[in-house]
Amino acid sequence: MRHIPVMRKEVLELIDPRDEGLYLDLTLGAGGHARAILESSGRGSRLIGIDRDPKALEIARESLREFGDRVTFVHGRFGEVRELLTSSGVSAGNREQGAGDGNYELKSPLPLEFDGIVCDLGVSSMALDDADRGLSFQKPGPIDFRMDQSRGQTALEILKRISEEELADAIYEYGEERFSRRIAKSIKEAVARNSLKSTTDLAETIVRAMPRKGPGNINPATRTFQALRILVNDEMTELRTLLQTFQDFLSPSGACVIISFHSLEDREVKIRFKELHQSRLFSILTKKPLVPSKDEIKTNPRSRSAKLRGIRKLSQ
């Protein structure tokens, strides 16, 4: 079954892909948004896809194989986009189109400019469903939480290192969990007892620290797991870095679309887009964030928290 990206229709409307355009997908994942862009533009368009998850890149290479050399795959964090494009050789110069064939030769020392940039900050379903990642409490797995398992500390290593107060602050800020102090205390006590062996152990420790479960279908450990994922992968630093640099890679009339799943992320995007709009060099495309339709949420419940904002660089 082919992967269906979140808010596909809305992304395409704002990016407005065209033939011989150059596009950048900062969170390639299984390649859903990339496929939509490449199919909606002419055969002369090209796309560069970045992902920090090596497993996701393997899947994307297979799913986008039919597009051949129209797609360039880059492993790394989107917050390092400038360095990644330079080290991979794709931003050694400004693009110059060939004889209508959509190929780009790197000629001058200027950075590449993209006609459209998309960044989906959500965690892919394939990562959530992979027990080895430790991102879910549905199945027992290692307390890892890293999107790129080739580097960085695991969640368990961080839980052993940071103080109870630091942990509580992270759970409160990143998970918006009002019982963060009780949860942090419970987790640190479990760490001291060496009783955290799997993600299910961690989830049970979190649930025991909370008052009786109230109404609703959301597991009480959900917010804390989200907070730990953001902490382990340093996601807010990544986003803030991106928001200070993406405009350098937009061509005149180029659009950037960012999909967030957390109020903290959306607030950062909103503030930065407003700053760029006030410079009079950019135009905000979404006065309010777009959200998934009821039909999309029914088909893909994990899209329910998505908020999409777009901005366009004005021609000068």
Compute the distance between CA of residue 295 and CA of residue 308 in angstroms, rounded to an integer. Answer: 17
Which pLDDT does position 139 carry in this prediction? Answer: 80
Secondary structure of 102-118 in the HEC alphabet?
Answer: CCEEECCCCCCCEEEEE
Cα-Cα-Cα-Cα dihedral sign, residues 11, 15, 19, 24: negative
- Centre a 10 Å sphere on the Cβ of residue 237 and count the other Cβ atoms it contains: 12
pLDDT of residue 117: 97
Query: Per-residue pLDDT for 282 more than 80?
Result: yes
Burial (CB < 10 A; 0-12, 13-18, 19+), residue 236, is middle
Nearest to 164 by CA among 189, 185, 183: 185
Residue-wise pLDDT for 221-274, tens only, equals 989 999 999 999 999 999 999 999 999 999 999 999 999 999 999 999 999 999
Cβ count within 10 A of residue 7: 23
Q: Are 9 and 299 in contact (CB under 8 A)?
A: no
- The CA R_g of the chain, rounded to the nearest whole Å, is 21
Q: What is the pLDDT of residue 216?
A: 57
The CA–CA distances, whole Å, from 301 to 181, 233, 304, 305 equal: 30, 24, 6, 9
DSSP 237-248: HHHHHHHTTGGG
Is the per-residue pLDDT at 201 higher than 90? Answer: yes
What per-residue confidence (pLDDT) applies to 4?
77
Length of the chain: 316
* Helices (H), ranges, 150-288: 155-161, 164-175, 180-192, 199-209, 222-232, 235-243, 263-278
| Segment 89-147, tens digit of pLDDT | 664 334 443 333 333 343 333 358 999 999 999 876 666 666 666 667 778 889 999 98
Q: Is the pTM of this model over 0.85?
A: yes
- Of 93, 104, 106, 81, which Cα lies nearest the Cα of 24? 81
Share of the chain above pLDDT 70, in %: 85
Percent of the chain with pLDDT over 90: 69
Token pair in block for residue 155: 């969640």
Interior angle at CA 18, CA 2 and CA 90, nearest 5: 80
- By C-alpha distance, which of 147, 127, 120 is closest to 26? 120
What domains lie within the chain, and their CATH numbers? 8-125+237-313 (3.40.50.150), 149-232 (1.10.150.170)
- Read off the pLDDT of each residue in 195-212 and give the average, rounded to a whole number: 92
pLDDT number for residue 108:
34
Span 185-189, average pLDDT: 97
- Show the tokens assigned to 46: 């090209």
